[in-house]
Amino acid sequence: GKAESESPELVYLVTGGCGFIGEKIVELLSQQDYIKEVRVFDSGAREEEKIIPVMKGDIRDYNLLLAAMRGVHVVIHTAAIVDYRNTVPFWEMKAVNVGVPGGQGLQTKSRYDKHLPAPSSTSTVTQHLAIYSRGNEDTKYSGEVELPYGKTKAMAEKLVFEANGKKLNNGGKLTTCIIRANTVYGEKATFLRDLYLFAKARNDVLNYLEPENTERNSTYVGNVAWMHVLAARHLQLRPDLLAGQVYYCYDDTPRKGFLVRHQILSSMDPSIRLGSHIPYWKMWLIIHLHRIIKVLLYPFWKPQPFLNLPLLNTIVTTFSYETDKAFRHFGYKPLFTWQESKQRTAQWLKAAAGNLSCPHLHEKEN
């Protein structure tokens, strides 16, 4: 209402606010006039580049998190270890991705905060060779989630659901909702930079693993962040409607992953050509050979993390959805068109690829 814009009083906390999506959320939140303060809690904070002060800390540190939450009205929880290549031990990923919203953490949070939109990822519902074409939030998914990362996200989702409606110490109720993003691309998406180097090393040709008819929603990071901002706002304004709901992220990015990647890469470097589809059996064979060689040469050779079978299966599986639920519930419309998203990503990629002349930078990322 009117009074609200005169004196903003809301305090927001973004966990993982220095991350790929978190950073964009913080940027957008700091432009909203109904918010008094945005706090960031992140383990990987590098102070010098932040306008907003960052509380540096591990999300598993109970007391530190408690301190960060004093007086907070809304928590946007994006802190997570995202690992598709199985380089992080499962227990550690589980401790970070699941340990927080559940158990002890929630009991504490509930003393302060009233609203908790938690992003998730659609890897929670992508299974091996099960095809979900143009489903929506109500589609029921069956089967076992294969990727360990997806497993931890599925656990975390369950906890966020269970937390919804819990009584708070201040007499209020905790309301939560979940936002699922499928493939997110944009500035700082390191997989695009790696893909670019990969194509450069192979004569500027970009081959791809998914069959031409595979559909998968990709969403620009700025639109994913905007959806979080709107959902958090409306979770307060209309808790009866949003509480306990799941929302998929969407925008007008094309549904064919290999075309999206090619268009982004080629608008940054026109010499990148789209190659051809690598057959599944060939990739399956390479993965198994790689594993055997790794075992045989174990102490002498520690290779870069490589594609694994669950990830390959995820890539070649159609997972797309058709939904306008976020628009219906809280008026979400993409902030950025596909054209703008592509331009912004390509611009970042140009700068990032330019920095690769410093090899130490690249090492640190891996």
Count other C-beta atoms under 10 Å from residue 47's C-beta.
8
Residue 93 makes CB contacts below 8 A (sequence gap 6+) with: 81, 83, 148, 149, 152
Query: For residues 129 and 313, is the Cβ–Cβ distance under 8 A?
Result: yes
Residue 124 corresponds to which amino acid? T
Pairing status of strand 35-42 against strand 54-56:
parallel
**DSSP assignments along 10-51, one per residue:** EEEEEETTTSHHHHHHHHHHTT-TTEEEEEEEETT--GGG-S
Q: Which of 149, 220, 247, 321 is labelled catalytic?
A: 149
Distance between CA 271 and CA 347 in Å, rounded?
Answer: 16
**d(C-alpha 58, C-alpha 12), whole Å:** 18
Q: Are 225 and 21 in contact (CB under 8 A)?
A: yes
Strand pairing category for 35-42 and 74-77 = unpaired
For residue 119, list its beta bridge partners: 179
Residue whose tokens read 């966990």: 15
State the residue for tokens 């970009």: 206
Distance from C-alpha of 125 to C-alpha of 141, rounded to nearest angstrom: 6
Residue 149 annotated as catalytic:
yes
What is each CA distance from 28 to 15, 119, 348, in whole angstroms?
15, 16, 18
Question: What are the structure tokens assigned to 310, written together?
Answer: 């669950």
Burial class (CB in 10 A: 0-12, 13-18, 19+), 18: buried
Contacts with 366 (C-beta within 8 Å, 6 or more apart), sequence order: 304
CB 13 within 8 A of CB 68: yes
d(CA 235, CA 281): 46
> Which residues participate in catalysis according to the annotation?
149
